[in-house]
Amino acid sequence: MSAAAEAWGNLQAIRVAVLVGFMPVLLYRIWRVARFPASVPALAATAFGASAWFWLLIYSDWVWPSLPPVVHAVSVAGWPPITIAACLQVFVVGIAGDASPARIRRALRTASVMAVLALIAVTVLVTRSRLPMSSDDVYVLAEAVFTEGDPAAVTAVVISSAYVIFVAVQLAWHGFRHIDRTPVGVGLGLMAVASIFQIVACVFGGIWQPLSRGQGVMGSAYGVWLDTWPGCIAEILMFTGFLWPPVVSRVQAHRDVRRLRPLHNALADLFPALFPPMESRIRLSDKVFEWGFHIQDGLTLLAQRRGDPLVAGRPAAEESSARAGVVAKWLVGQPVPGFSREWLHAPDGVSDESWMLAIADAYRERQEDAEFPASLSGMPSTLRR
């Protein structure tokens, strides 16, 4: 019992850390969903975070004693894992990019029906349990459910654990299939790894332990470790995986806006009618996308104003940084023999967004190195080097 109590104390400490650490980011996710149009995966991710945070709060030592008995009963029997897994199920449906809208709607209906049936089954079983499904100490109540061998309580726990395993397998499969180095790919990879740990936690702590009444391996210190730590690791990885894409994407968008701003402002001063006022509710990532198009259009107009030919005898450099440096030199009015509008096109294998960022970086560096930064009207700069 001492080992189990110590493990439960460690679990409480981790819950407090998760509650405090992830609350600001969760509030930010809720704000984004309320402020901007959101996709199905984004809504499911936000619902998952809110649901998981709520149930972690319910299990906290300072909240649990003040709750009514009915909340104690459904909390221990399986409502928390089912509601959280239902959000994950919707998320899995939403990230299936190869599915048609009709197929996604059918999958969402199926997921909703499965979650409701699981909740109803657990609730009915809890009402038929012979155990007193309420206690001011959540550990004591959980110990009774998992070790007393009450058929109704054990069946409720096994159903909820099986449902979570079913969803976790799907999430692991889709997560490993879509993993890459992008913020979304990294987040899905973290969630896939978290699903593996969650499957281990459910098999040992949610199925084996109640069926064995906490005897044998599950009654040892090793069994307590299998019952608690995989779930703790899964919680941390799952929260991190859900929060990684929006946080990293916003940081990257802030950085890209700073990179684009000098060239964007210079072109806006030269062609004010080209740049409409930005909407106040536009997302930062969309702002980067819009600014890239603005710069692309501004470069084309500037080349037309200066009378540069479409193609010249000098071929454009294939290397991105070298071509961006030549374009930056042309931007500030320095002579570039053989320059043509062909130089303004993105090199092969480089996206338009990356190309605009490369030009903006080269322009910013050239202006920072200039003793008297040049305008785009053609006045040359005086370089320090």
221/384 Cα distance (integer angstroms): 70
In a domain, 290, yes or no: yes
Range of the domain at 149: 1-178
In the prediction, which pLDDT does 342 show?
86
58/64 Cα distance (integer angstroms): 6
356/378 Cα distance (integer angstroms): 20
In a domain, 199, yes or no: no
In the prediction, which pLDDT does 1 show?
44
Tell me: do 162 and 283 sit in the same domain: no
In the prediction, which pLDDT does 192 show?
94
CB count in 10 Å sphere of residue 354 = 14
Tell me: do 162 and 292 sit in the same domain: no
In a domain, 189, yes or no: no
In the prediction, which pLDDT does 384 show?
34
Q: What is the mean pLDDT of the chain?
A: 81
Q: Is the pLDDT of residue 273 over 70?
A: yes
128/123 Cα distance (integer angstroms): 9
Lowest mean pLDDT among 14-28, 107-121, 166-180, 252-266: 14-28
- Residues above pLDDT 90, as percent of the chain: 17
Residue 189 DSSP class: H
In a domain, 265, yes or no: yes
The pTM of this model reads 0.76
pLDDT class of 348 with cuts at 50, 70, 90: confident
Q: Is the pLDDT of residue 372 over 60?
A: no
Q: Is the pLDDT of residue 249 over 50?
A: yes
Tell me: do 169 and 263 sit in the same domain: no
CB 133 within 8 A of CB 141: yes
Tell me: do 9 and 143 sit in the same domain: yes
In a domain, 92, yes or no: yes
pLDDT class of 382 with cuts at 50, 70, 90: very low
pLDDT class of 385 with cuts at 50, 70, 90: very low
pLDDT in tens, 172-228: 998 898 888 888 899 999 999 999 999 999 998 888 888 887 666 666 667 677 777
Structure tokens at 307: 């009378």
113/79 Cα distance (integer angstroms): 15
In a domain, 115, yes or no: yes
> What is the number of structural domains in the chain?
2
pLDDT class of 256 with cuts at 50, 70, 90: very high
pLDDT in tens, 279-331: 556 778 888 888 898 899 999 989 898 888 888 766 777 788 888 888 988 88
Among 256, 272, 281, smallest CA distance to 364 is for 256
Residue after which a domain boundary falls, among 178, 202, 236: 178
The stretch 119-127 carries a mean pLDDT of 88
Tell me: do 170 and 260 sit in the same domain: no
Lowest mean pLDDT among 4-18, 149-163, 175-189: 4-18
Tell me: do 267 and 166 sit in the same domain: no
In a domain, 257, yes or no: yes
CB 8 within 8 A of CB 139: yes
In the prediction, which pLDDT does 254 show?
92
Tell me: do 7 and 150 sit in the same domain: yes
Residue after which a domain boundary falls, among 150, 178, 206: 178
Residue after which a domain boundary falls, among 143, 178, 213: 178
pLDDT class of 278 with cuts at 50, 70, 90: low
Q: Is the pLDDT of residue 338 over 70?
A: yes
Tell me: do 29 and 170 sit in the same domain: yes
Tell me: do 157 and 259 sit in the same domain: no
Residues in CB range of 376: below 8 A, 6 or more apart:
266, 267, 269, 270, 302, 331, 332, 333
